[in-house]
Structure 1
Amino acid sequence: MFGKFFGSKQQEKKEPQLDPKTEALLNAIQKRSQEDPLVGAKLGAKEVFQRLLDGMKDSKGVHVESLLTALGALAGYACQANLRAQALAKGMPETAPFQVIGTKDGKQYFFGDPYALAGSQYSVWSLVGGAAQHAGAKDFPDLNEILQHTIAVLGSEQFGIPRVPDNHKPSDTPLNYLKALWPTLLPTIKLFCPNPVDWPILYSLAIQEAIYAGKEAIEPGLAFRIVMESAIPMSKVDLANA
């Protein structure tokens, strides 16, 4: 689905080349960041949102449930990646911030500080929920119930599968979107947000764009649920061995 737009796996590993336009943009971000610390995340969110719109578009347009699932998966994993990057920057093993849980099928899951996922005003939960409410959401997902379900189905076929009505199911699983998109987008994310703390914020702001753009096609409360049903399990996965 994304190969034509994002390029080959060999290309994905390369750092993006800075053309004059990009370099000028990044210089502007650096200057404006003194007034608005989140300017990089805001502009990066618009870039990611547009890239996914272009990459997921077919003759019928963009399947909004799939877009929300992909962005939710990326936002969730960004919470884990943020903690890994911070640990490495401190000279610690990147898995140091986590409680690692193994399952009978040999997989590992990482449980860490939920601050970026649901513990602050800039968390995925808060930023996405705020957009859903602003867009007119009527029902909201139960955060604790999703967390408990995620733990209950670790290592099973139900893990990471959004529990949504059949007519609102995404075209693929959160994990498959994550595996396809995370390594492709990461160099761009690092350009806009050198500080990994801002990575989950960038993806959450991109989700806000998706909720506002798709509110005529999908009820914002359901959009919020799709995002969190994708984000919470993907914040736990072992992407290196997925």
Structure 2
Amino acid sequence: MDDKLREWLRTATEAHCPDRERMLARVERGMAEGPSARTPRAPQGPLRWLRVVGATAAVCGVLTVGAYAVTSTGAGQTRRGQVAASPVTSASAPAAPGRVHELRTEDGPLRVDGAVDPHSNAYWAQSNVTLRTTQPLSSLTVELRIAQTGGVNTTGSWRSLPEQDFTASAQERSGFLVYRWTLKPGRTVPIGTHMFAGQYNHAEGVRGADGDYITASAARTSGQQVSVGDDFTPDH
């Protein structure tokens, strides 16, 4: 209880002069009416005022808490909105998907290297795959993945090995333009260095190839499986 309220109560108590005759009359009247005739009355004077003050304080407390909750929720929504807006802003520049495994350029008799052809320009490019094998291969699958950095679409592909020995395809898949060459059953890849290349248009400007990569899996004529891969980092 603060000092102002204490002062008010003290003043009200000193100013109160009870009417003895009226009080006795009320007591006698109440006894005559009996308990059933009495009706509850709202408390008067300082006690009623205290209850009003308490109720007001409680309401103020609820309003204060409510205002804080609204303010906090509003701020949270603003922060969430800002966070949610970030992907929309960056949606025009797709992130390069991660690789599913570590790439190693050499495995047993097989080696692979990737490089962007020096004749590429601001609108068109060719990515070269150099495959070397020191043993004949009874099966071979080569995949060249070009990240969709904007405007990437195929303009063709080729290989140095006989065309009739391979099944070739080019299709969009999971944010990449994927070139695939698969050796047909009953054919053999001879010992030597062989080339595979994918050609494509792209958005105007210098295109970064650091999201591109290649993989190759093969089987020796003895049946042993090998697999290799490489990316297109600037040092190539």
Task: Name the TM-score, length of structure 2 as normaliser.
Answer: 0.19
Q: Radius of gyration: which is bigger?
A: 2
Instruction: Pick the structure with more strand per residue.
Output: 2
Instruction: Pick the structure with more helix per residue.
Output: 1
